[in-house]
Amino acid sequence: MSESSQHKRFAEDVAVVTGSTRGIGERIAKRLAVEGATVVVTGRSHEAGTAVAEDIEDTGNEATFVKADMRSPPEISALFEATVDEYGSLDILVNNAAVQTETSVEETTLKDWDQVLETDFRSYWLCAKQAHRYMDRGTIVNISSNHAFSTMPSHFPYNAVKAGINGMTRAMALDFGPEIRVNTINPGWIYVDRTMAEMAEQRRQELAGIHPVGRIGKPEDIAGVATFLASDDAAFVTGASLRVDGGRGAVMQDDTLPDYRELSE
């Protein structure tokens, strides 16, 4: 079924999606819009954010861009004030903004630490607090990572933060319930510029072959799960962390696997 023929589950809802000027956040914003939501696109790039909002409006849906740096508490507050001033309500928050450093525990500097924690972790808490102020009933979806469960060298403090988001989600679900449901998505390998732009084609093919679904994920895969969790279809789901990784989390040892691409032919 195409996105254009989907039931509009979010008619009359207002959604804020952080880090939605590109990648996974952009796809989530566009999917929410297709399903009827009025979407506030936000990020640091005015040019990129305006382009995403215009793309949404070109499809006949409503969107606006509000520039905000997730490292700035005043800009976070202003984002939610602008949203409610413009639309009168808030129903959905997707915390997606993230940065990553390729540093080990020993190599990480205080600057690295502050950059990752303020963007990927503190902003999720601050955005959720703002959302709680304005939501009568609603949903929050936090985007984490499969690094919350298992990780690789030189991904600190990104991997620590992603594990923390899972715990934050549980805390929010308890403190905000029953009015607001809060859940986490833990994506695996997703084909976005940040992770794939400099990767050799051979390596991409190798990665596809070790996923039980036979491919690397797409931003649309995460958008589909995000809209499910934000919808009434997930009305009994809160405090959950859902791994969306093409089956990689089921793998104990890569050298025991067949090439799943061959099995799908």
CA distance 148 to 169: 12
Residues 6+ apart with CB under 8 A from 14: 37, 38, 39, 40, 83, 87, 88, 89, 90, 91, 92
Q: How far is CA 129 from the centre of its chain?
A: 18
Are the C-beta atoms of residues 230 and 211 closer than 8 Å to each other?
A: no
From the DSSP assignment, how many helices (H) and strands (E) are in the chain?
10, 7
CB under 8 Å to 34, separation ≥6 — which residues? 3, 4, 6, 59, 61
Short-list 66, 69, 94, CA closest to 80: 66
Catalytic-role residue among 134, 158, 191, 260: 158
Which backbone phi and psi does 105 adopt, to 5 degrees? -60, -40
Report the C-alpha gap between 237 and 13 in whole angstroms.
19
Known catalytic residue: 191? no
SS3 at position 139? strand
Pairing status of strand 14-17 against strand 92-95: parallel
Distance, CA of 98 to CA of 222 (rounded, Å) = 15
Catalytic residues: 158
